[in-house]
């Protein structure tokens, strides 16, 4: 089983952290293999960035994405660049407050207002963790428990409560609105 995830947006949204956390969750807590790559635009901050994670039950022989099973796109530029690359039958997760989108014909579209949810919790910076909660609700490749453990291990101790609330908010938003599962 080889599954591919792309998370893309702009610098400062925690895109790279979300990708790293997902890979760590798969390896450290779910006992899978993973490869993680990242890319940045030329800007110092606020430019395009992407995190790509390949997860497998066997060693990952080729670490680069071929056709992502899931894409979390958190900016218009990321949407325009990557939305059409998701595998037919795959999952596309967008923040509708940041992305003008068209209804895709052959992928499951989840609209998760992660930035708005994060702001309601008091810190816009946890929007990436809201998205990880949303991912956990719909993509069983990495377990909810593993993702949450990886999030809590990756953040400073004084922010763990906020990050756990952000993760749970994203998870419950998708479960309530879309029923979860893929």
What are 97-116's pLDDT values in tens digits? Answer: 999 999 888 999 999 999 99
To which CATH superfamily is domain 2-178 assigned? Pyruvate-ferredoxin oxidoreductase, PFOR, domain III (3.40.920.10)
| pLDDT recorded at residue 182 | 45
Closest to 28 (Cα-Cα) out of 134, 167, 151 = 151
Residue 47 tokens, joined: 């430019």
Whole-number Å distance between alpha carbons of 35 and 31: 13
Report the pLDDT averaged over residues 1-16.
92
The radius of gyration of the chain from alpha carbons, rounded to an integer in Å, stands at 15
pTM: 0.93
- Judged by DSSP in three states, 123 sits in coil
């Amino acid at each position: 089983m080889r599954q591919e995830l792309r998370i893309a947006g702009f610098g400062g949204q925690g895109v790279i952290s979300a990708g790293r956390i997902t890979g760590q969750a798969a390896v450290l807590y779910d006992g899978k293999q993973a490869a993680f790559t990242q890319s940045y635009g030329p800007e110092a901050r606020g430019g395009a960035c992407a995190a790509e994670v390949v997860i497998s039950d066997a060693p990952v022989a080729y670490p680069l994405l071929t056709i992502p099973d899931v894409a979390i796109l958190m900016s218009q530029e990321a949407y325009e660049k990557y939305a059409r690359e998701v595998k037919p039958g795959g999952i596309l997760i967008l923040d509708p407050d940041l992305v003008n989108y068209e209804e895709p014909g052959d992928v499951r579209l989840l609209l998760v207002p992660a930035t708005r949810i994060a702001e309601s919790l008091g810190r816009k910076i946890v929007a990436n963790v809201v998205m990880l909660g949303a991912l956990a609700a719909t993509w069983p490749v990495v377990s909810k428990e593993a993702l949450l453990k990886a999030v809590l291990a990756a953040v400073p101790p004084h922010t763990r409560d906020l990050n756990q609330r952000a993760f749970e908010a994203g998870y419950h938003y998708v479960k309530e609105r879309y029923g979860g599962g893929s």
